[in-house]
Amino acid sequence: MRGRRVAVTGIGVVASCGMGADAFWDGLLAEPPDGPRRMDDFDPGAWFSTKEARRIDRFAQFAVAAAAMALDDAGPVGADPDRSGVIIGSGVGGLETLEKQIVICHTKGPDRVSPFLVPMMMANRGAASVSMRFGWRGPCETPVTACAAGTHAIGNAARLVASGMLDAALTGGSEAALTPTGIAGFTNMTALSSSGVSRPFDVRRDGFVIAEGGAVVVLEALDAARARGARIYGEVLGAASTADAYHITAPEPDGGGAVRCMELALADAELGVSEIRQINGHGTATPLNDAAEAAAIAKVFGTPGPPVTSTKGVTGHALGAAGALEAVAVLLSIDRRLIPPTAGLDHVDPDVSLDLVRGEPRPWEPGPTLSNSFGFGGHNGCLVIAPVED
């Protein structure tokens, strides 16, 4: 990633396995529940008045909450608001609001539809709400690239900081699509696990477990972060984006698009394959995705290659927020010097010849890590995140 080095100085996370960095990390090492990963204990009252909460969709509430946590964690960034941007992705946006208002329209008539429908349902509401809440007036954008949105957001934000267009960015992803219609849609396309268990790379995998949540990180120019004495979790070394141009939901069987994306991310980071010390896989636990991703990783890195984990065994699949949650998992893995295991992986698919981390967390010497996200529509995104070295 040419230009200035880009540091991560703050982490905010809202997930079913834990809110806040410490609780989230503990959750990644714990036994997950079965079924959809709902945020049952999320209280918007910690960030919004009752009136405000009624006028902002759940996915945008997650974005604001995660951003507030990230800024609290980062401390006083001190960047010029005109040079501070917000890039937060979402795959679906305000589905909960849209679904409720459609019912109202059909049962009570169009005159009863909320005037707040459009600003609540639009996918950019999360980023817009964060920008307004904190007064950051630089670019405010929302990648809407399905399950790669969070990863694309972080990669795009890092480029803006590296290029000098921004001095700081709040970036990540947010999603709240656990509505009756949303779940029915994924169920009827046979994407969801019928067992309610997420089993990435397991021979018994039968689909993903849907999740909601959000994650936001603070990015700054490394020199500025050091100058203010900030805690630095790591740096973004590289990012890449490609398209399969193959099928609206299925990945290329040979993982060609994923291969190109991983290779471009490594080139952007100016790293060779032997320098990658961990891969946080997309690992959704769907039969086609895991097979294609495993084949792609093997093509790029050989077998067994670097250690591979899928944190979706715990978090479930949070769609547009997934890549951001996984970037946070990588940063905490670097900080805690452990690779979290792939929950639900008891019987490795014999066609997968990777070094899969399972059973127990694995101690490691932190180094450059690749985080993969592959979404419906053939959207591929990869990040390279590493400890900061002089």
Active site residues: 147, 282, 317
Three-class SS of the chain: CCCCCEEEEEEEEEECCEECHHHHHHHHCCCCCCCCECCCCCCHHHCCCHHHHHCCCHHHHHHHHHHHHHHHHHCCCCCCHHHEEEEEECCCCCHHHHHHHHHHHHHHCHHHCCCCHHHHHCCCHHHHHHHHHHCCCCCEECCCCHHHHHHHHHHHHHHHHHHCCCCEEEEEEEECCCCHHHHHHHHHCCCECCCCCCCCCECCCCCECEECEEEEEEEEEHHHHHHCCCCCCEEEEEEEEEECCCCCCCCCCCCHHHHHHHHHHHHHHCCCHHHCCEEECCCCCCHHHHHHHHHHHHHHHCCCCCEEECCHHHHCECHHHHHHHHHHHHHHHHHHCEECCCCCCCCECCCCCCEECCCCCEECCCCCEEEEEEECCCEEEEEEEECCCC
Q: How far is CA 237 from CA 51, 299, 383, in A?
A: 42, 22, 8
- CA dist 333 and 195 (Å) reads 29
- φ and ψ at residue 220, rounded to 5 degrees: -145, 160
Question: Are residues 319 and 249 in contact, defined by beta-carbon separation less than 8 angstroms?
Answer: no
Q: Which two tokens stand for residue 358?
A: 């399972």
Question: Are residues 375 and 223 in contact, defined by beta-carbon separation less than 8 angstroms?
Answer: no
Contacts of 361 (CB under 8 A, 6+ apart): 29, 338, 339, 340, 341
The residue count of the chain comes to: 390
